[in-house]
Each structure stands twice: as structure tokens, then as C-alpha cells.
Amino acid sequence: MSGKFELKIAGNGQIMFNLLAANGQVILSSETYKARASALNGVESVKKNAGDPHRFAFHVSSNGRHYFTLKAANGQIIGTSQMYSSPDSARQGMLSCQTHAQGASVEDLTR
């Protein structure tokens, strides 16, 4: 099962991407990039790092919601998940990220 990455223009005019599950649900969102090439490098970094469970970190937001981040080998955050109601659902989201990222296609909505 694979999802897809959607490149799109963010509210600030820069480029960002979302990793979507096969059902279209957002699993992971990137920060914004000034250049399309940088965003595509971010997509490749997600594909490369999502298979390693040690690259994920779990967090609790100030309102008690749970989420995870995915980090590159250098420790830089390359994606942040949606918010989840429980630690178990955040862990399921991480597993979904691992499942969908590897073979995900890229749809460029910036053009």
C-alpha cells in the first residue's frame, strides 16, 4: 500500500508537502521551503528516513493532543504529523507513515 506526496503552495507563498494515506488522509506535513527542489529533497528525505522507527519522536501538545515528528539523520525535523487523541493513535499514525512513504508518488500542485 502506498500513499502520495502532494506538493503545494503554503499560505506564505512558499512550497510545502503533505504525505497522504491511500484514503487521502494527511499523515505528515513538512515545513515550508523557498524552492521546489528543496521540497522535493524533503520528500526524498521522508522516504529515506520513515523506515527507521528511531527517526520518530512522540510529543504532547499544550492542549493534551498527541503527535509525532520525523527527523533526518542530522536531527532536523522533516515532517510533523496531525494531532491525535491518544498515544496509541499517534503510534498508528507513525506506522501509517512508515507504510505509505516508501512507494509514494509525488503530485505537484504548484504548477
53: burial class by Cβ within 10 Å (0-12, 13-18, 19+)? exposed
Domains identified in the chain, total number: 1
Mean pLDDT within 67-91: 96
- Residues 6 or more apart from 111 whose CB is under 8 A from it? none
| C-beta separation of 44 from 70 below 8 A | no
Strands (E), 14-103: 15-20, 26-29, 56-60, 66-71, 77-81
pLDDT in tens, 37-74: 999 999 999 999 999 999 999 999 999 999 999 999 99
% pLDDT > 90, the chain: 94
The CATH number that applies at residue 33 is: 2.30.29.80
Domain that holds residue 103: 4-108
pLDDT band at residue 1 using 50, 70 and 90 as cut-offs: low
Q: Supply the pTM of this predicted model.
A: 0.94
Between CA 90 and CA 61 the distance in angstroms is 12
pLDDT band at residue 8 using 50, 70 and 90 as cut-offs: very high
